[in-house]
A and B are shown apart, each in its own frame.
Chain A
């Protein structure tokens, strides 16, 4: 038996990979299948799942209803569709803002003296390794009506002799956007830095020799060569923003509801796992579609693993 195993390379490989395969099957594939099964089930009155086949949850998500207030046969309630739309546009805005902030910093670090590079990079890692929940809380301190930003603005206003009313910033969509940008900024800086650092200096020299100015060097050399980093960073930012519920929960209060909040509430407060599973499946499909088209256009950078 042992001797046969020693000669069978394929069996050895399977055996080595077996624990991982079991784990991936048991806690990734089967839960996803179960989510799909539950999403077409029905909710029992005590919040359990009745296995059945009904598309009610998906119809409810789209907003189609036959139980209308004004006596019509059917009507359309865009509540859930607008939540999906809000999450998509927030994820899009966050990603764009993060790229705009991360790129200059990554460029700054990549072109620094080699000795200083590590220290600059280290400065990016500290906020990244500060816990996610703590970082959201820090923004509460800044954005509150009596918070640091209003104190600073008030001081400036007093200095310039302008009347000042503290701004209401916490529990607004803007607060959620700022929180998301802050949370995910390091995930964009690192991959862009990795791809910028790989660019050979001789390419810049060649561009200069051929008479390219700074703008042209950037658009023709730097930017195209750093695209793999931008793509990897976009995947690392866009997907988690779509599913995160803590930032909107804490900085958005009850004002800003995203898909993540919708799903979380179905499992905890509303106790309707079937509807939550349907929303979760839609979320997954949406992110997969966006990622697929995005990576098909720009390629799937290996920078993703580096980060």
Chain B
């Protein structure tokens, strides 16, 4: 019996599910070339290039960028650039901190016995089993109560008032990232052979050198995949950011959501397309790197 034989029913359903997964994305990309500013109907591609943008009603007749008119429009949008900057700042900062403290916690949970160990381990599962909105409004309430109290207590006003912003978003992102980093690194540590560390210690290395030269290189793939997971979670996050952001800390998902509630021009589609392409490139790169690494090991 051929183990790779699948019934036609499975093949048809699999094809249908792939179609279901990709049809919306294809439509999204096609509409980014829409000539219609209203973007309700697809009115064809923008037919020609010209020195200046020529419009007729809500139709774009020609543009310096031709069919790519909305992409050029996007590149000039200050708000998008600002939001992209915020998104990356938040993701990089939060990932760095979450990876360091998450790895420390994984080491503690896997190697040591201490009083708070059962509590720490259990608390890591909380973000998985409660809806994100519950966590989001909890953090929002905490910040608004604490900030309100501080502002009153020190009678702060104007710019010195404590408000929501990049800081609150970063701190909150770290909170939902740490459990994922810790669990991934812990899984890696479970299959760890301790004799390498013992050998290093026997040869006279102290704890720090042993960690830096032996332990860290061995768990590095786990740490990196934990960091990558945390990074993508942060880039993608909507709910927690929605409740913890403030003036000047709008991220791309928040910005797009805001647009969806107002007028939607094909610029949103152009932004989505660029975003998908960037993610695709990053994932492909990662696959290549991982493929090379696994080849080196075998």
Residues of A within 8 A of B (CB): 6, 9-17, 19-21, 23-32, 34-35, 38, 48-49, 101-102, 104-105, 107-109, 111-113, 118, 122-127, 129-142, 144, 146, 148, 151, 182, 185-186, 201, 204-205, 208, 214, 235, 239-240, 242-246, 250, 260, 263-264, 267, 273, 276-277, 280-281, 283-284, 287-288, 291, 304-305
Contacts and interface: CB of A to CB of B under 8 A. Distances in A.
Chief secondary structure at chain B's binding surface: helix
B131 A239 contact: yes
Given A29-B123, A137-B260, A291-B129, A14 B134 contact: no
B187 interface: yes
Contacts of A240: 131-132
A34 B134 contact: no
B25 interface: yes
B178 A31 contact: no
15 contacts: A13-B117, A14-B115, A24-B120, A27-B174, A31-B139, A34-B138, A49-B145, A107-B10, A131-B256, A137-B268, A137-B272, A186-B21, A283-B134, A291-B129, A305-B187
A288 B129 contact: yes
Contacts of A129: 232, 236, 279-280, 283
Given A131-B252, A208-B1, A31 B141 contact: yes
A305 B184 contact: yes
Contact of B116 (A17, A124, A135, A304): A17
Nearest to B276: A130
B212 interface: no
Given A31-B135, A130-B25, A16 B120 contact: no
B271 to A, nearest CB: 8
Interface residues of B, number: 94
B20 to A, nearest CB: 7
B282 to A, nearest CB: 8
A287 B126 CA distance: 12
Interface of B: 1, 3-7, 9-11, 13-14, 17-18, 20-25, 27-28, 31, 40-42, 101-102, 104-105, 107-109, 111-117, 119-120, 123-124, 126-135, 137-142, 144-145, 148, 171-172, 174-175, 178-179, 182-184, 187, 207, 232, 235-236, 238-239, 243, 252-253, 256-257, 260-261, 264, 268, 272, 275-276, 279-280, 283, 287
A188 B261 CA distance: 30
Given A16-B104, A131-B256, A305-B184, A35 B21 contact: no
Contacts of B6: 107-108, 111
Contact of A10 (B14, B102, B115, B175): B115
Most buried by B among A125, A137, A240, A277: A137
Given A19-B101, A101-B20, A280-B134, A131 B129 contact: no
B114 A13 contact: yes
B280 A126 contact: yes
Given A13-B117, A137-B272, A204-B3, 16 more contacts: A17-B105, A21-B116, A23-B178, A31-B135, A35-B141, A105-B18, A108-B13, A108-B14, A113-B4, A129-B232, A130-B272, A142-B23, A142-B27, A182-B21, A245-B133, A273-B144
Most buried by B among A12, A20, A26, A214: A20
B286 to A, nearest CB: 10
Contacts of A11: 114
Contact of A105 (B14, B117, B236): B14
A87 B297 CA distance: 48
A42 B235 CA distance: 36
A269 to B, nearest CB: 12
Given A111-B6, A240-B132, A17 B120 contact: yes
Contact of B178 (A24, A102, A111, A244): A24
Contacts of B236: 129, 131-132
Nearest to A30: B142
A9 B114 CA distance: 8
